[in-house]
A and B are shown apart, each in its own frame.
Chain A
């Protein structure tokens, strides 16, 4: 608690300094970094690891002497899985805290709430979650993977291994809808067929009728784009019906919420997934990162998730750009990022793609194996080809929208 009060007091002091005196930032003022994530309510399963990763990144930077000789201060907001608070906290971060950058937003809905607010009040924004792609906004950088980076690799891999008939089950919202279209496109391109795509609202827990429908369709494998706590019951019911042995499964959403730890090995072993980051990646940067993460948050930390790494890498990219720009000024940092800043991150080399503000990064296919994620194959330096098809911020710097990419 003492720590809490101290941060509160310095926060108040900083706010008074920034607000009442409204001097230009003094050299010794800490640089504000806002975090706006759901730490309670239904989505905290995703938000908690993201904030932990951001906390670690900032503590590391401060231990190394800060940025431009100034310390960094994390201002941490819990949106309680409530959209109204996203607006309020984005306004507070921009206007009251006057932070240099905002990291936050989990669902695409929350991003679309934050984005216009931060555009309007001219505050740099990093969205660090994997999502459906297509956002084109000069004020925003996206460090998560999009379907063209992962689905394109996993579909042929799984089809070669299991067969050509793919049944798709997906969460009924923007991400699920769009991702399942990408899956269909790549399945067809690889000479396969998709007998059906079924959508489920995020709070559905009874999948019995669907499991019967899938059995009737007899696919070679099932593709899951299911999301969230309630949808975990699909995997349970699937395994309980004895289907896991006969019909395998692939996914680009599984394990982001640590589903592979919540479920027992018998319920999900052998499932194929594809992401930018896995805790067990073998490279020196990652081994050092995992060691310091465990030192900070305990060796029993369940799993460093894809989203946590996205947040960590997002912060590191921003910090690199601040160093290059020699300033935390928004436009200078954006210009520095647009030179194609690149870092050696735990997931491998990560580079900002200037026209789209998305990232070029490595992706890996892995298999769920006894609560661990075993990396099977690496694909170096994948471009955000989907967003690149619609978005070029170098040519149209004033473009500001989320495109629906024609598939």
Chain B
């Protein structure tokens, strides 16, 4: 078995388990599990958006939450003003994408790179956080939607079937929508990455100068990648605003942007399934750490085990030090080396080993 057939096997595996998961979960699981899974699926779309631009495009974006939050706010504000969700839904994708394109133009055509990119994107999301956070007064409103400042916007109306205001999507429908979106995003990105465009952006990540000398304009390709990532994050934001019927400025905050990066690093840069697994795993873990709190306990150990940031911090350090490539690539390496070793044993080294 070589890398390519492993790849196809993976693809089949993902599509079968993904479809089975989507169809069976609502039949088998309790409603609260379905609701939790819905938000994990939505966040996984967000994780994929960063997986594309950072893992494959090599663009370190510390402010992916900016597009996520813009998507959520755009949907909320448009929904209060329009009342029918088709246009708000589209706006929640187009506006973040346009914003990403603008920001990307500013950065890539200014030849800003690596860590400075990180700083600019981080700063942008902090500006959004600060600005939206200070809109508590009644004078801050867009149309009929009050921005609400720190408290955010509660009671956001849910999505409906396109052009049919009366057919709102219910909780189970939301699960199908979120899971379907995740699968569609995943396979869409697989296709994109298998195309010529995908090859070129990976080439640019590996060696920007060489790609440029071969006649590709890295700035344009990075801009396109960044814009697609922004659109995806905005889409996830729209779904998120639907899931909780609520959006607040913390969506732009440092903690949120940081979380997205953790998902990708834990799952593995340069893969798509990795960030999805990382995202779901970390989300599940922080929810599990927050539930079942001992009450009134006062000894230090129980305080430490009940302390979510502490445990997440340790996980992050451990991953960077011990599993720097992330879960999926590391497991893949282990799997491949096992296969190779077995094959090597079978062939007793008569053939020269191939590099790949």
A interface residues (Cβ-Cβ under 8 A, vs B): 1, 3-4, 7-8, 11, 19, 35, 39-41, 51-52, 54-56, 74-80, 82-85, 87-89, 91-92, 94-96, 107-109, 112-113, 115-116, 172-174, 176-177, 199, 201-202, 296-298, 404
Contact = CB atoms under 8 A, between A and B. Distances in A.
Interface stretch (B31-39, B185-193, B215-223): B31-39
Given A84-B244, A173-B136, A296-B296, A77 B149 contact: no
Interface string B273-311: 000000000000011011111111110011001111100
Contacts of A3: 294, 297, 302
Interface stretch (B79-87, B100-108, B151-159, B173-181): B151-159
A89 B292 contact: no
Interface string B119-156: 00000000000100110111000000000111110110
Given A91-B32, A113-B246, 5 more contacts: A51-B295, A77-B293, A87-B246, A177-B136, A199-B137
A176 B290 CA distance: 29
A87 B242 CA distance: 12
B138 A404 contact: yes
B146 to A, nearest CB: 9
B293 A39 contact: yes
A1 B286 CA distance: 19
A52 to B, nearest CB: 6
A174 B248 CA distance: 12
A213 to B, nearest CB: 17
B31 A113 contact: no
A82 B39 CA distance: 14
29 contacts: A3-B297, A7-B294, A40-B309, A41-B309, A77-B290, A78-B289, A82-B286, A87-B243, A91-B35, A92-B291, A95-B30, A109-B151, A109-B154, A112-B152, A112-B246, A116-B155, A172-B133, A172-B150, A173-B149, A173-B150, A173-B151, A174-B136, A174-B148, A174-B151, A177-B136, A199-B136, A201-B134, A296-B296, A404-B138
A286 B61 CA distance: 55
B130 A84 contact: no
Nearest to B293: A76
A11 B291 CA distance: 11
Given A51-B295, A116-B245, A88 B136 contact: no
B248 A83 contact: yes
Contacts of A113: 154, 244, 246
Interface band, chain B: 35 or more
Interface in B290-335: 290-298, 301-302, 305-309
Contacts, number: 146
B312 to A, nearest CB: 10
B25 interface: no
A198 to B, nearest CB: 12
Nearest to A174: B151
Given A19-B30, A116-B245, A85 B286 contact: yes
B39 A88 contact: yes
B290 A78 contact: yes
A54 B295 CA distance: 9
B250 interface: yes
B194 interface: no
Contacts of A89: 287, 290-291
A172 B39 contact: no
Contacts of B154: 109, 112-113, 115-116
B255 interface: yes
Contacts of B152: 83, 109, 112
Nearest to A120: B171
A199 B294 contact: no
B150 A88 contact: no
A7 B296 CA distance: 13
- Max chain A Cβ within 10 angstroms of own Cβ: one of B138, B287, B290, B297: B290
* Smallest CB-CB A-B distances: 3 pairs: A95-B32, A173-B150, A112-B154
Contact of A92 (B32, B305, B308): B32
B308 A199 contact: no
Interface string B246-268: 10101000010000000000000
A94 B35 CA distance: 12
A52 B149 CA distance: 30
B302 A1 contact: yes
Nearest to A4: B294
